[in-house]
Amino acid sequence: MKIVSSYVREQKRYTKNDLKSIFSFDESGVEKFIKNLKAYGVLKSVKNSTDQLEMSDLMDEDIEITEETAESGDCLYVFTYVGIITCGSRVIKVFPKYLLSKRGAPLDEMKQVVKVLERYSRFEEQIINMFNGNGENRSFNILAVILFLLNDYYEYGIYTNSEDIVEVNGEGEILWGKTIDESFALIEDNRPYYMELYTGKTVDDDMDYFKRLHECVLTECSHQLHEAQLDTLFDMDVLELSDESLQDFGDRDYILERIYKELNVQFNTRRQILLKTLYAYISQDRRMLEENDGISMFGTTAYHVVWEKVCAAVFDNKLNTTLSQLKMSVHLASEFKDRSSETLINIIEKPKWKGIDMDEVDASDTLIPDLISIPHINGSDHFLIFDAKYYNIQLEKGKSLRGNPGVGDVTKQYLYQLAYKDFIKAHNISEVKNCFLMPTEKDEIIKKGTARMPMLEAFGLENIQIRLIPASMLYERYLAKGKIDISLLEL
């Protein structure tokens, strides 16, 4: 079986012939490939037009067309996903859309993106998705399960069962109760001296069934990752922990019964999760790269959320910090003392609704900025309102405006400053800045320009600056749990 492992760019428009060439398909194979990916929501089709070929984002107005309404050549195909997808013997590595200059295999950039996705998944407590899709399109997510098992091993090691052993004059802890009850003592100067001490220690059972089973599954998983040419991407060595096969542990029903019984006597949460994952892996009897319609995935169709979370972490987001914990150069103003336990996001006004015959009530939702930072720069507090925008903006002389946030995004950014006007004034904060943060593959921060609306600018509100941030630099800080020096933005 020939394995084809190739890179594609998120949001780039591909023709059917492009996909045939990239993934080595014949006509019937590419049709099936496209149908499967569309069924799982990772591939969209749009009209084949000059405008679409020039687009770097899939906009709301880009109405998806179905295969039934399209004739050959009418469609362009767009991957709306960042991460890894396996579909039969094809491995699809979708890299982020801002890597515009990458024509080959952006291995280093993709390895960093994978690490970001892994940290984001852990931080957000994402539950392992063992199945993709639903109904007829439901498929066991073997890739996610393999990655979970391997990452669990690297963090916690092999599943072990241990037993307590009592020895005479051993090196373990002295069991004084048993020694006093069962050992002979010599008395000298009214003090007992024991010639034999009972000691206890805990040893791992190296021949334990579940230890061996875990080693066997891990070895098999590691080999599958290597065959899919993904071990390098995930920075994992090929494991050789066992020379046994699953058949050596009995038939599938017997193995599953043993795991089920072990679950009933195992109360450690981590071990329970591991046993359940082993159960799922063995019960599904599924392998990566099999020639079937199943899809496995590691990644997300909402990478813009990942970008927002990375920016919030690296730019020291204070939205969820209580007012009493804000480290400003002045004390909390008196008019906010009674709200000191509230977070910065809670003090934004909510819309008020009043019926003809009822009292006024607050709406449950209100304006929610992406992130607010209040750094101390050059001896004074700054109030910085950021919006993390996962866009490829085209804002150059001689070119039409493309990939820009909409009017709603611009007006909301002004309103965020208005929402905090009283707080800013009460604390004598003179430096207020508004800024869109967008990713770039470049190595330095780019001052791209501004967005403004004169009618809102007339209220004394700050126009919105645009900064392109090197994604690799942000990811490096995010993975190291560090912060960025905000003064580098030169707002």
Residues 459 and 328 in one domain: yes
Which of 253, 274, 300 lies at the terminal end of a domain, its last residue? 300
Alpha-carbon gap, residue 177 to 375, rounded angstroms: 61
Bridge pairing between strands 431-440 and 380-388? parallel
Residues 179 and 238 in one domain: no
Can you give the residue range of the structural domain that contains 77? 4-157+209-300
- Find out whether 466 and 448 touch, Cβ atoms under 8 Å: yes
Closest to 233 measured CA to CA, from 329, 298, 171: 298
End-to-end CA distance of the chain: 55
Residues 102 and 124 in one domain: yes
Which of 248, 278, 300 lies at the terminal end of a domain, its last residue? 300
Domain count across the chain: 3
Residues 169 and 150 in one domain: no
pLDDT value at residue 173: 81
Phi, psi of 238 (to 5 degrees): -75, 125
Residues 322 and 422 in one domain: yes
pLDDT value at residue 61: 44
pLDDT value at residue 169: 75
pLDDT value at residue 50: 59
Residues 191 and 108 in one domain: no
- Find out whether 119 and 478 touch, Cβ atoms under 8 Å: yes
Structure tokens at 176: 């004084």
- Find out whether 118 and 298 touch, Cβ atoms under 8 Å: no
Q: pTM value? A: 0.82
Residue 264 neighbours by CB distance under 10 Å: 7
Closest to 174 measured CA to CA, from 190, 160, 205, 182: 182
Instruction: Name the strand (E) or helix (H) holding 167.
Output: strand 162-168
- Find out whether 288 and 227 touch, Cβ atoms under 8 Å: yes
Which of 278, 300, 322 lies at the terminal end of a domain, its last residue? 300
**DSSP code at position 154:** H
Residues 319 and 417 in one domain: yes
Residues 328 and 458 in one domain: yes
Residues 85 and 153 in one domain: yes
Phi, psi of 30 (to 5 degrees): -70, -35
Alpha-carbon gap, residue 353 to 362, rounded angstroms: 6
Residues 384 and 412 in one domain: yes
Residues 122 and 268 in one domain: yes
- Residue by residue, pLDDT tens for the chain (491 residues) are 578 899 999 999 999 999 999 999 988 889 989 998 998 889 998 887 656 555 555 554 444 444 443 445 678 999 999 999 988 888 999 999 999 987 678 999 999 999 999 998 877 655 456 555 555 556 678 888 899 999 999 999 998 876 566 677 777 787 777 777 777 777 777 787 777 877 776 655 556 888 899 999 999 999 999 988 899 999 999 999 999 999 999 999 999 999 998 888 888 888 888 999 999 899 887 777 766 667 888 899 999 999 999 999 999 999 999 999 998 989 999 999 999 999 999 999 889 999 998 889 989 888 889 999 999 888 889 999 999 999 999 999 988 898 899 999 999 999 999 999 999 999 999 899 999 999 999 999 999 999 999 999 998 899 999 999 999 999 999 999 999 999 999 98
Residues 78 and 178 in one domain: no
